[in-house]
Amino acid sequence: MKKYFYEDTGMYVDWDQLKKLPPIDTFVDVGVGPNGSPELYKLFEDSKLILIDPLSESEDYINKELSHRDLSYYKVAVGDSKSKLKINVEQELGRSTLLNVTDINFEGDNIDQREIDVIKLDHLIEQENNLGKIGIKIDTEGYELKVIKGATETLKSSSFVLAETRHNHETFEGMYKLHEFVDIMHQNNFLLSMIVTAKPFIADLVFQPKSDLIKK
C-alpha cells in the first residue's frame, strides 16, 4: 500500500485507507486488465476471487500469478443488459474500453476491435454459491455506471464498492457525469466513504452501505 501527494500535478494517492475496509468473503474484480490488482488480492488474501475481464490477455496473468487462489474467472464484460458489443483494444491493454475515446483522453493506439459478450453482474453472481459478504472493484474505462446498473441485487450483499470514476465526462463519447455515479450509489443506499486517489480526470472512490457507516 502507498500514500503520497505530488505537488507538481496535484495528484493524491492514499491506498492505506483500504486497510480500514471490513473483512469480506469474496472479492469481485471487474476489469482485471493485464496486470490484475495485486495489492487488493493481497489485502483480501483469505477471500475467494471472482475475476471478470473480456480480454484473453487477462487470463494469462490469472494463470501465472493466481493459480494458488480460490477463484472463478469469467471472460466477459458486465453492464446493464445482456448483449454483444465491440471493445476497442488499446496497445496499453488496461485502457481498452467499450466506449469511443475522445481527443481529450486519447494517449495510445487502438490496435484492434473484438466482439465480446456482456452480461449483468447480477446474473453472473447468481451462478456462484456461498459468497458471503462481497467487496467489488470496478475499473472499466468509462463503463462503471452501466456496471452498477446491472448489479443492484449484488450490492445488497456488498460491503464496499471501489470504483475508478471519471470527473471529466468528455474523455469518452457517451460518458456518464460523476454526479450520476454518486447518485446511483445513493439510490442503492451506498455513501461515499473514501477518496483513495485523485488525479486529472480520474478518482478512485470507495462507497459503503449507509447502514454500515451509521454504525460507526
Sign of CA dihedral 7, 182, 21, 153: negative
Range of 56's domain? 3-215
Task: Write down the pLDDT at residue 10.
Answer: 61
Task: Write down the pLDDT at residue 163.
Answer: 97
| pLDDT for 202 beyond 90 | no
In angstroms, rounded to a whole number, what is the distance separating the alpha carbons of residues 148 and 122?
A: 10
Task: Write down the pLDDT at residue 198.
Answer: 83
Task: Write down the pLDDT at residue 81.
Answer: 95
For range 145-163, the mean pLDDT = 97
Task: Write down the pLDDT at residue 5.
Answer: 58
For range 8-34, the mean pLDDT = 87
Percent of the chain surpassing pLDDT 90: 61
Residue 62's domain is classified under what CATH number? 3.40.50.150
Number of domains, the chain = 1
For range 98-112, the mean pLDDT = 62
Indicate the pTM of the whole model: 0.90
3-state secondary structure 141-195: CCCHHHHHHCCHHHHCCEEEEEEEEECCHHHECCCCCHHHHHHHHHHCCEEEEEE
User: Which carries the bigger pLDDT value, residue 163 or residue 98?
Assistant: 163
Q: In this structure, are residues 132 and 107 in contact, taking their beta carbons and an 8 Å threshold?
A: no
Task: Write down the pLDDT at residue 14.
Answer: 85
In angstroms, rounded to a whole number, what is the distance separating the alpha carbons of residues 104 and 183?
A: 25
In eight-state DSSP terms, residue 100 is P
